[in-house]
A and B are shown apart, each in its own frame.
Chain A
Amino acid sequence: MRLGVLFSGGKDSTLALHLAAEKESVVCLITLVSKNPESYMFHTPNIDVTALQAEALGLPLVSVVTEGQKEEELADLEKAIAQAKSKYQIEGVVTGAVESVYQASRVQRICNRLDVWCFNPLWKHDQKALLETLVEKNFRVIISGIFAYPLDEKWLGKQIDPAVIARLVGLQSQYGISPSGEGGEIETTVLDAPMFKQKIEILTSSMESKGNCGVFQIKQARLVSK
């Protein structure tokens, strides 16, 4: 089955892509570039890096800009999936949804209208186990956004490794934070993964934070051999 992956460049959509590619044929990535940093649906930090990630993966990218307003961004997502269907003949869409019924049901409705299958290979999976899978499979993932107490700027740019996972799981029991950021507590950017033919090297970056909110912005990056 020809599939397009809804791709934010973060850990969940990249892991979903890998799982999908093990079973079916992934033919394109679909990205919504939201102008709204508080988008209800779409991961925002470093969304521009998706072009470089697509190049590293050797997959075409269908990219649609959205203002990021609550219902308009869903119409823009529908446009993007419709474009992918017409340009790359996708028969199904893959998402990185884990827990959010809000996100999953909206994408399901769009797929139903467009008559394409909708796969959620990470659905309801244990969040700690998902993080551990990333480490086991040699994904290089950095924390590119923090949006909840008690996270602070010291977390920005950190690579997800066993020590970081242990600290996130500790925060779950203490503060109720979802360790994989399902409640939007953290956002991530993938710099390398098994399917990447090249990896991403960050040349320049900046950090902006205020209290428990902050982003690690990749300013310049390039692909280098693995």
Chain B
Amino acid sequence: MILVVDMNWKRDSLALNEFVSPIVSVVQSLEECEVKHFLDIETMELEGYNKIILSGTMLKDHATLKQVDKFNWISTFDKPIMGICAGMQTIALVFGVTLTNCLQIGITEISTLKQNPIFQSDFRAYTLHNYSVAPSQTFETLAESTKCIQAIKHKQKNIYGVLFHPEVRNQEILKRFILLKQ
């Protein structure tokens, strides 16, 4: 069972269809999943999930970035996590990594810097973000655009972040994460 975390600014928002449903649709083609809003996650409940995916949000929605204390469970969950866009930014903040200004909207060229289990080579992806993350000792950079870091992985844990939206283009990246062996 995979948990998809709704990262939108409020429960049952108008953005749910746009940022969560397309992820659910890809996950359900391979595995069962449940959706919970980030405000409704209790650490004790997470034992039943084998992976967690954090959704993106609207360009103006920075709610999770202002409530990082709601995501302390990320550092203790011992199975794979993937954060998409705001999900990646939130993961970075949980581990004390700072955000950098980086506005990108639309199809963007992504260059892979480090081979990894979820994507290879260079590709084009859909981006919609105001921020990226600074280079850090905690995460290795997996990919970048000409402007900023586009994908990261925690050096010790199975925690991935992608700034682009694989649920819009490059669904195979999401599928490889879903099928990733733990």
* A residues lining the B interface (CB < 8 Å): 19-20, 23-24, 94, 101, 105-106, 108-109, 111-112, 115-126
B58 touching A117 by the CB < 8 A rule?
A: yes
Kindly list chain A residues whose C-beta atoms are within 8 Å of the C-beta of B59.
108, 111-112, 117-118
Complex Cα spacing A123 to B23, Å: 11
**Does chain A have a CB within 8 A of B122?**
no
Q: For window 70-95 of chain B, which residues contact chain A by CB distance below 8 Å?
A: none
**Docked CA distance A111–B14 (Å):** 17
Contact A123 B18 (CB under 8 A): yes
Cα separation A138 to B137 with both chains bound (whole Å): 57
**A122–B19 CA distance with the chains assembled, in angstroms:** 11
B25 to chain A: which residues have CB within 8 Å?
A: 124, 126
- Taking a contact as CB atoms closer than 8 A, the residue among B14, B106, B168 that contacts A109 in the complex is B106
Q: Mark B44-75, 1 if CB is under 8 A from A, else 0.
A: 00000000000000111100000000000000
Give Cα distance in the complex from A116 to B59, angstroms.
Answer: 9
Distance in Å: Cβ of A70 to nearest Cβ of chain B: 15
B179 at the interface (CB under 8 A from A): no
B106:A121 contact, CB within 8 angstroms = no
| Chain B, range 14-29, C-beta contacts under 8 Å to A | 14-15, 17-18, 21-22, 25
- The one of A24, A101, A119, A125 that contacts B21, using a Cβ cutoff of 8 Å: A125
Q: Is B167 an interface residue (CB 8 A)?
A: yes
B17–A19 touching, CB < 8 Å: yes
Cα distance A179–B14 when bound, in Å?
25
A122–B21 CA distance with the chains assembled, in angstroms: 10
Query: Cβ of A105 and Cβ of B105 under 8 Å apart?
Result: yes
Say whether B107 contacts A105, CB under 8 Å. yes
Please, how many angstroms separate the alpha-carbon atoms of A71 and B12 in the complex? 36
Contacts of B60 in A (CB 8 A): 115-117
Is B126 at the interface (CB under 8 A from chain A)? yes
A residues near B107, Cβ cutoff 8 Å: 101, 105
> Which residues of the partner chain B approach A122 to less than 8 Å between Cβ atoms?
17
What residue of chain B has the Cβ atom nearest to residue A120's Cβ?
B18
Q: In whole angstroms, what is the CA distance A123 to B126 when docked?
A: 13
25 A-B residue pairings within 8 Å (CB atoms): A19-B17, A23-B12, A23-B13, A23-B14, A24-B14, A94-B14, A101-B106, A105-B105, A105-B106, A105-B126, A108-B59, A108-B106, A109-B105, A112-B103, A116-B60, A117-B59, A118-B59, A119-B14, A119-B15, A121-B17, A121-B18, A123-B168, A124-B18, A124-B22, A124-B25
In the assembly, what is the distance between CA of A117 and CA of B60, in Å? Answer: 6
Q: Does B128 interact with chain A (Cβ within 8 Å)?
A: yes
CA A126 – CA B21 in complex, angstroms? 11
User: Which of B12, B58, B168, B169 is within 8 Å of A118, CB to CB?
Assistant: B58
Taking the closest CB of chain A, its distance from the CB of B126, in whole angstroms, is: 6
Task: Report whether A124 and B168 are in contact in the complex, using a CB–CB cutoff of 8 Å.
Answer: yes
Per-residue contact bits, chain B 1-14, to A (CB 8 Å; 1 contact, 0 not):
00000000000111
In the bound assembly, the distance between CA atoms of A117 and B57 in angstroms comes to 11
Residue among B22, B25, B61, B106 with most chain A CB within 10 A: B106
CA distance A123 to B167 in the complex (A): 11
Complexed CA–CA distance, A122 and B22 (Å): 10
Q: How far is the CB of B16 from chain A (nearest CB, A)?
A: 9
Closest Cβ of chain B: how far from A183's Cβ, in Å? 17
Q: B96-119 CB contact bits vs A (8 Å, 1 = yes)?
A: 000000010111000000000000
Residues of A close to B21: CB separation below 8 A? 124-125
Residues of B with C-beta under 8 A to A106: 106
Most chain-A Cβ atoms within 10 A of its Cβ — which of B25, B59, B107?
B59
Question: For A105, what are the chain B residues with a Cβ–Cβ distance below 8 Å?
Answer: 105-107, 126, 128
Is A123 within 8 A of B22, CB to CB? yes
Contact B14 A121 (CB under 8 A): yes
- Shortest B105–chain A CB gap in Å is 5
